Structure 1
Amino acid sequence: MKKLLAALVCSLPLVSALAVDVYDRDPDHTFAFFEFNHLGFSTQRERFDKVDATVTLDLENQVGSVEVSIDVRSISTGSSMFNQILLSDTFFDVEKFPVVTFKSTKLNFGKLDDVVSVEGELTIKGITHPLTLTVTQFKCAMHPMLRKSACGLNATGKLRRSEFNLGRFAPLISDQITLLVSMEALKR
């Protein structure tokens, strides 16, 4: 009996580890957007088309992590001239800093095992600052078309571009940027 009890106690971490699910982003449904005020005339929304993300979730224990990598060259503004300006050393300096990353430090859960916010560190141009993303929509379920477990979320956060050495033309072009994320991820 003691051996059986010892074996059960030793296997508890393994059972707990089995509850952890790993999801990889669906590239056709995962994008990062950013919005800014342009000279007081309009709010401009730009997008990065290539966003790689891995999500680890243990809903039962309400823990998890998120790692995101954004290919800066995939910026899509609708204007090839504006794309080139943003990719230049004046802004993103894509030759030296081709990737933007976000690594979570904590996922915060609501009453229904839903993720309500993600705390983490955002790195742009080699500069890292904390960023909290507020989750506005979260759902995990069986994907009706792919017949795989899937999770999706929409999230938003605010940052100051000047903190990442992207502050040119502020305050004419707003220093505060709204970051928006739309992600769907499929279980491995």
Structure 2
Amino acid sequence: MSTLNTLSGTYTIDPTHTEIGFVARHAMVTKVRGQFTEFEGNASTEAGVTNASINLTVQVASVKTGSADRDGHLLSADFFDAATFPVITFTSTRVSATDENTLLVAGDLTIKDVTRAIEIPFEFEGAALDPFGNERVGLSGSVVVNRKDFGLTWNAALETGGVLVSEDITLNFEVSAIKAVEAAADETAADEVVEAAEAEVVEPAPTRAAVEDEPKAEVAQGGFMGWIKKIFAPSNR
């Protein structure tokens, strides 16, 4: 059975089977959920979760909350200011396994022009080989951040007290990543294809003209040798 400590190699996030979302409290009484639909990321590690690293880039303009008006407000200068700061990035600074199925990822989260250090605990959901031959791993994690720490300060006061949008935002990650094929395996396969192609190379068949010239050459050679023998034959001395 696979555990975090048995994983090794380079993994690429599969955006079609990964969700990067967030939850905010609205008007102090309910929760609003959203997600980013365009992103890319990768991770690499050696066995035993050594020399591990994770990188993620999110396109801010891909934010979706189920309301076009709200999405537009989030993209404005009141919040993300997507025209000026089009991406959110995360770069790990430390990755460690606290046990066989729990990963603690520390790193720098950059939103707008502000970078803060955060720690995200992840649960290892397992590894599997999909029907297309891809080796997949699953991880899920979440962390609470204060949006004001990243310059997202807009708010509106409520007549009943409190504010329209909570300062604390929960970031949720449901990740499916595919292991990259080892380069060495690719090179070996390529070498095998080349060798097979070379083995199939067949010498070209002689042309008709070449075949027809061979007897003529033999006759010509025989006639000359016959003349030489005739000159130096004992009867001619």
Measured in 2, the distance between the counterparts of 1:152 and 1:59 equals 17
Mark the CA change 1:61 to 1:184 in structure 2 (over 3 Å): closer, same or farther: closer
Correspondence for 2:74: 86
Identity of aligned residues (%): 29
Structure 2, unaligned stretches of length 5 or more?
1-6, 157-161, 181-237
Correspondence for 1:104: 92
Correspondence for 1:38: 26
Structure 1 residues 93-132: aligned runs within 5 Å: 93-112=81-100, 114-132=101-119
Deviation of 1:36 after TM superposition, in Å, equals 1.0
Measured in 1, the distance between the counterparts of 2:174 and 2:93 equals 20
1:134 and 2:134 correspond? no
Mark the CA change 1:24 to 1:30 in structure 2 (over 3 Å): closer, same or farther: same
Measured in 2, the distance between the counterparts of 1:115 and 1:139 equals 9
Bigger strand share: 1
Measured in 2, the distance between the counterparts of 1:45 and 1:61 equals 32
What is the root-mean-square deviation of aligned Cα atoms in Å? 1.7
**Secondary structure at 1:155's aligned position in 2?**
strand
Query: Could you say which structure has the larger radius of gyration?
Result: 2
TM-score by length of structure 2 reads: 0.67
Correspondence for 1:167: 153
CA contact (8 A) 2:78 2:153 kept: no
**Secondary structure at 2:138's aligned position in 1?**
strand
Deviation of 1:28 after TM superposition, in Å, equals 0.5
CA contact (8 A) 2:49 2:97 kept: no
State the one-letter code of the partner of 1:184: S
Residue of 168, 191, 198 corresponding to 1:176: 168
**Secondary structure at 1:83's aligned position in 2?**
helix
Mark the CA change 1:164 to 1:111 in structure 2 (over 3 Å): closer, same or farther: closer
Structure 1 residues 50-89: aligned runs within 5 Å: 50-89=38-77
Q: Which has the higher contact order (CA 8 A, sep 6+)?
A: 1
In the TM superposition, structure 1's runs of 4+ consecutive aligned residues that sit over 3 Å from their partners are none
CA contact (8 A) 2:130 2:136 kept: no
Correspondence for 1:152: 138
Structure 1, unaligned stretches of length 5 or more?
1-18
Q: Please, which moves more after superposition, 154-163 or 168-177?
A: 168-177
Bigger helix share: 2
Q: Please, which moves more after superposition, 43-52 or 146-155?
A: 146-155
State the one-letter code of the partner of 2:81: D
Aligned residues: 168
State the one-letter code of the partner of 1:80: A
TM-score by length of structure 1 reads: 0.83
